[in-house]
Amino acid sequence: MIPELLRIALLGGIVAVDRTAGWNLMLSQPLVGACLAGALIRPGPEWELWALRVPIAVGAILQLLLTNSALPAAQRPHDTAAAGVIGSSVALLGLMRLHPILPVSAAGLLWVVVGVAAGLVAAVLGGWFARFSRGAVSSTAGRADALAERGALGSFERLYWGGLLRLFVGGALWAWGGTLLLLGFALWLLPLLAVVFTARRAGILFAVLLGTALAAAFHVHVRGRARGLRWAALGAIVTVLVLRAFHAAAESGAAGGDAP
């Protein structure tokens, strides 16, 4: 498991820098982090299907849930970057280890639910972690002033790159530690609840989460937007028309194929 955890740590460091240092290339979005984690874990050919499918579903639900329409200053400090990486990693690593007890064929959606739950918890814990590491920057400002006073531009530059490195290492450590912590918890708890987790119950949990995620997206994209409902209705109508056109084309194609 060490190579997987090292890759997760590397990804955690990159997404942390993207989110906090100002790159803002959106590598830190839950959907991206979850899919990249799935690709990096590479659990082997026998898990190939789930290694890609579970992270997509975990990432998509976390993406809708964690997208916040409030301005960053008004938001609670949640670590959305680590949420996708940790959620997806916990789901995949747990799936590989608990397969004999919780077979994927019976409860594939269960691992999506486990991944989303791990991602949500990681977002809260990561927010505390980020707040703690930000506190260390205040003392750096004094050192930067002293270096500017001496005209030591090179030293100031090194101090700054050191701050960037600290963000990377902090993100990597959190992704590594958070995955281990939540995976350990999942490996302890899930076997105890194995009898309860039928495929149907996992499906219910997944549907509840999907409904919540869609409602969250409604608040972000429609409610409170200028003419939001009108645009959403237009989008729905256009999609219905396009789907009907595709359906009709497919049917006429099939009828043409049946003709002698």
Partner 1 sequence: MSELAPDVAHERPPVALRAGDLARVASRSFQLQALLSPERMQGLGFGFAILPVIRRLYHDPASRGDALKRHLRYFATHPVLSGFVLGSAARLEERRANGAPVTDDAIDSYKRALASPLAALGDPLFWVTLRPLAGLLGVLAVALLPRPATGEPDLRALLCPLVLVLTYNAVALPYRWIGVSRGYEHADRPDVLLRSLRLPELTTFLEGAGAFVFGSLLVLLAAGLDVASSAWGRQAGGRMLEAAPLLLGALIGFVGMRRWPSRSVEVGLAALFAGALLAAWALIP
- Footprint of partner 1 on 47-106 (CB under 8 A): 48-49, 52-53, 55-57, 59-60, 63-72, 74-76, 78
Q: Which is nearer to partner 1, 5 or 30 (CB)?
A: 30
Between CA 1 and CA 7 the distance in angstroms is 10
Q: How many whole angstroms separate alpha carbon 149 and alpha carbon 32? A: 42
Size of the site for partner 1 (CB under 8 A): 108
Query: Residue type at 41?
Result: I
Residues 174-193 binding partner 1 (CB under 8 A) are: none
Q: Out of 15, 116, 175, 186, point to the residue binding partner 1 (CB under 8 A).
A: 116
10 touching partner 1, by CB under 8 A: no
Question: Residue 231 corresponds to which tokens in the numbers above?
Answer: 């645009």
Among 169, 173, 187, 220, binds partner 1 (CB under 8 A): 220
CB nearer to partner 1: pick between 105 and 260 = 105
Q: Which of 6, 25, 106, 189 binds partner 1 (CB under 8 A)?
A: 25
Interface with partner 1, residue 46, by CB under 8 A: no
Q: Does 130 bind partner 1 (CB under 8 A)?
A: no
Q: Please, which residue, 2 or 79, has the CB nearer to partner 1?
A: 79
Rule CB under 8 A: is residue 229 a binding residue for partner 1?
yes
DSSP conformation class of 25: S
